């Protein structure tokens, strides 16, 4: 019998399922948009409907009884209240829902250490408290609830629990959390990649012995998908903003830069996000203009300009200054040189971000894998390669579900 591994990604817009073989080769995929199902993006019923649709599409191409393990990732900080049987008691609160209760946020700040990821307006802990106001309940994360549909257990993983206040260093919910919420309503927490239980009877043709493995967040899953697995391995996501993640042997916590560390597969994944990125480029250029002008750029010759591209004032990382002004001038005579200077400026910020992580205790950068829309631009990639001065291997995959399938495989 072939051994297959199923990864399920519940992202911001839909669900994706990927099946891998033992070698890591993709053998089938399936996907489903949340918008294709009744209920809206906050509805657990919609999450589950999209998951089922994506799974059935992926499993239609393989012998589903050969799937020996599965894992689920979800959007970080998305929460839902459930009863003892796992039935949702209301819609969820999403990863990007902002808490406007200043008193609650102050209470969390007063009770918690500065290094916790549970502080701030997008705190998962704040969402948990808000959901409890609806009815007495247990509070779990989005990925926990989907995983529980298979295992019948309502447990979490160390990555999804981080923004809810879990302490990955001690491996426990911290004592201070009882000043904010009753710890009894929070789930037990397991390390990503450990076996939670078995699927048992199911409607998908899976073997009842198929293992359900503790999952992770969509961001961590995307990192795993790239194939980076050694300390000093970095992943840069060049989307609307620039997100940096680096594998480290020690955790890095620098809340002044928005840096926290996830524990995964025996290492620590430290990350931070800059406000630079694609949205800064779009201030002056359309995607079509960027593509056309890139062909006119010589990436081996520097412009000599020192830009700090931002769409608006304010920066988080590697410089923490809410009033930092964009620098996108003096503007040269040609648009291609202006775009090149913006590419160079973002590349310089990326290099500084990795140096900042090293200053905070992370290992020296050894390699960078690139994901996101900006990674497809070869001219920008070459400019970044010169600024970073490290190897830039191609990622194995840009799909979070691929990383989650790798996580499922790691359990066996």
- Among 372, 293, 362, 410, CA closest to 24: 410
pLDDT in tens, 154-197: 999 999 999 999 999 999 999 999 999 999 999 999 999 999 99
pLDDT in the model for residue 386: 97
pLDDT band at residue 12 using 50, 70 and 90 as cut-offs: confident
How does 182-216 read in b/e, with b if 16+ C-beta sit within 10 Å? Answer: eeebbbebbebbebbbbbeeeebebbeebbbbbbb
> Is 44 in contact with 176 (CB distance < 8 Å)?
no
Domains of the chain: 4-220+400-410 (3.30.420.40), 230-388 (3.30.420.40)
| pLDDT band at residue 337 under the 50/70/90 scheme | very high
Query: pLDDT tens digit string along 287-327?
Result: 999 999 999 999 999 999 999 999 999 999 999 999 999 99
Q: How many of the other CB atoms lie within 10 Å of CB of 298?
A: 12
pLDDT, average across residues 387-410: 97
Q: Which band of pLDDT confidence, cut at 50, 70 and 90, is reported for residue 135?
A: confident
What value does the mean pLDDT of the chain take? 96
What is the greatest pairwise CA distance in the chain?
A: 68
pLDDT number for residue 146:
98
Tell me how long the chain is: 412
Is residue 206 pLDDT above 90, yes or no? Answer: yes
Residue with tokens 């995307």: 222
The pLDDT score that the predictor gives to residue 174 is 98
**Pairwise CA distance, residues 336 & 6, whole Å:** 45
Cα–Cα distance measured from residue 257 to residue 322, given in angstroms and rounded to the nearest whole number: 11
CA distance 385 to 382: 5
Residues 6+ apart with CB under 8 A from 103: none
Enclosing H/E stretch for 82:
strand 79-82
Contact 31, 16 (CB under 8 A): yes
What is the per-residue pLDDT for 136? 82
Can you tell me the distance from the alpha carbon of 215 to that of 246, in angstroms, rounded to the nearest whole number? Answer: 19
For 207, the 3-state DSSP assignment is coil
List, for residues 225-237, the tens digit of each pLDDT value: 999 999 999 999 9
H/E stretch holding 206 reads none
Q: Are 360 and 318 in contact (CB under 8 A)?
A: no
CB distance 144 to 179 below 8 Å: no
**Would strands 242-248 and 233-238 be described as parallel, antiparallel, or unpaired?**
antiparallel
Query: For 344-355, what is the HEC assignment?
Result: HHHHHHHHHHHH
How far is residue 2 from each of residues 67, 180, 351, 410, measured CA to CA in Å? 8, 48, 43, 16
Residue/partner pairs of 256-260 with CB below 8 Å, 24 or more apart: 256/320, 257/316, 257/317, 257/318, 257/320, 257/356, 257/360, 258/316, 258/317, 259/317, 259/357, 259/360, 260/115, 260/117, 260/162
């Amino acid at each position: 019998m072939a051994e297959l591994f199923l990864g399920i990604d519940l992202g911001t817009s839909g669900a994706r399922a990927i099946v891998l073989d033992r070698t890591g080769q993709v053998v089938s995929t399936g996907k489903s948009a949340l918008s294709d199902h009744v209920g809206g993006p906050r509805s657990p019923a919609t999450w589950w409907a999209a998951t089922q649709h994506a799974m059935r599409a992926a499993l239609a191409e393989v012998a589903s009884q050969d799937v020996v393990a599965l894992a689920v990732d979800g959007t970080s900080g998305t929460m839902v209240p459930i009863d003892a049987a796992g039935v949702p008691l209301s819609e969820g609160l999403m990863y990007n829902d902002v808490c406007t209760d200043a008193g609650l946020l102050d209470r969390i700040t007063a009770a918690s250490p500065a290094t916790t990821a549970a502080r701030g307006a997008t705190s998962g802990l704040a969402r948990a408290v808000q959901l409890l106001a609806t009815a007495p309940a247990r509070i779990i994360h989005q990925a926990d609830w989907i995983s529980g549909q298979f295992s019948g257990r309502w447990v979490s993983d160390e990555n999804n629990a981080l923004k809810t206040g879990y302490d990955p260093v001690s491996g426990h919910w911290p004592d201070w959390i009882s000043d904010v919420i009753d710890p009894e309503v929070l789930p037990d927490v397991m390390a990503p990649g450990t076996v939670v239980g078995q699927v048992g009877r199911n409607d998908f043709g899976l073997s009842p012995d198929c293992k359900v493995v503790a999952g992770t967040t969509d961001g961590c899953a995307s990192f795993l998908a790239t194939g980076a697995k050694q300390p000093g391995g970095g992943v840069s996501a060049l989307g609307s903003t620039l997100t940096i993640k680096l594998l480290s042997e020690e955790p890095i916590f620098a809340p002044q830069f928005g840096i926290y560390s996830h524990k995964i597969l025996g290492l620590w994944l430290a990350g931070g996000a800059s406000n630079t990125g694609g949205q800064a480029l779009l201030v002056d250029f359309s995607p079509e203009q960027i593509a056309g002008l890139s062909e006119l750029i010589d990436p081996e010759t520097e412009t000599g300009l020192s830009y700090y591209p931002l769409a608006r004032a304010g920066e988080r990382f590697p410089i923490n200054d809410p009033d930092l002004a964009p620098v996108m001038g003096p503007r040269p005579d040609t648009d291609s040189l202006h775009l090149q200077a913006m590419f160079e400026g973002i590349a310089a910020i990326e290099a500084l971000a990795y140096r900042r992580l090293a200053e905070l205790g992370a290992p020296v950068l050894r390699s960078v894998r690139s994901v996101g829309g900006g990674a497809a631009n070869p001219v920008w990639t070459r400019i970044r390669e010169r600024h970073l001065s490290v190897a830039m291997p191609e990622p194995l995959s840009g799909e979070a579900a691929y990383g989650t399938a790798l996580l499922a495989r790691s359990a066996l």
